[in-house]
Amino acid sequence: MILIVGGAGYIGAHVNKLLNESGYETVILDNLSHGHKEAVQWGTLCQCDIKDIDSIEKIFEEYDITAVMHFSSFIEVGESVQNPQKYYQNNVVNTLNLLNTMIKYDVKKFIFSSTCATYGVPQKIPLTEDHPQNPINPYGWTKLMVERILKDYDTAYGLKSIILRYFNASGADESGLIGEDHSPESHLIPLILDAAIAKREDIKIYGTDYDTPDGTCIRDYIHVNDLADAHIKALEYLEKNNTSNEFNLGNGKGFSVREVIDSVKKVTGKDFKVTETPRREGDPAVLIGSAQKAHELLGWTPIYDDIDDIVKTAWNWHKKLNKVNDDE
Catalytic residue list: 139
Q: What is the C-alpha separation between 38 and 41, in angstroms, rounded?
A: 7
Half-sphere exposure of 301 (CA within 13 A, CB side): 3
Q: What is the C-alpha separation between 72 and 113, in angstroms, rounded?
A: 8
Sequence letter at residue 150: L
Q: What is the C-alpha separation between 110 and 131, in angstroms, rounded?
A: 23
The answer to whether residues 140 and 116 touch, using CB atoms and an 8 Å cutoff, is no
Q: What is the C-alpha separation between 154 and 152, in angstroms, rounded?
A: 5
Q: What is the C-alpha separation between 34 and 28, in angstroms, rounded?
A: 14
Q: What is the C-alpha separation between 248 and 289, in angstroms, rounded?
A: 7
Closest CA to 170 of 154, 186, 183: 186
The answer to whether residues 12 and 75 touch, using CB atoms and an 8 Å cutoff, is no
Between helix 188-196 and helix 307-321 the angle, nearest 10°, is 60
